[in-house]
Amino acid sequence: MSRIIAAAAIRGAHQIVTQAEESLKKALEEHGPEKKVEFPNTGYYLPVIYAMTGMEVRTLKDIEPVLVRTKSLLPPVPEDRLWLPYL
């Protein structure tokens, strides 16, 4: 994979996590930490997160540890002059 594509993917992943953090902050301010997070009219609670991490997300406050885990998985954004493989 080219350096340009890999660097763009890593930068994009960082942007998505930042957007998720901002959205969570906004949702916590509007609804509070005990607001349920689920698919309407079902008993499901973000099954992809549970399947990938084993972390149950039933309320907004349950999302915070998921974001911490997500950030820990992100590699640092590569510098423009870095030519070493980073994937």
Interval 18-56: pLDDT, tens: 999 999 999 999 999 999 888 777 766 677 888 888 898
Buried (b) or exposed (e) across 16-44, using 16+ Cβ within 10 A?
eeeeeeeebeeeeeeeeeeeebeeeeeee
Are 23 and 48 in contact by the 8 Å Cβ rule? The answer is no
Tokens of 40: 């309407």
pTM for this structure?
Answer: 0.80
In which residue are the tokens 């349950």 written?
62
Q: What is the pLDDT of residue 68?
A: 96
- Alpha carbon 46 to chain centroid distance? 13
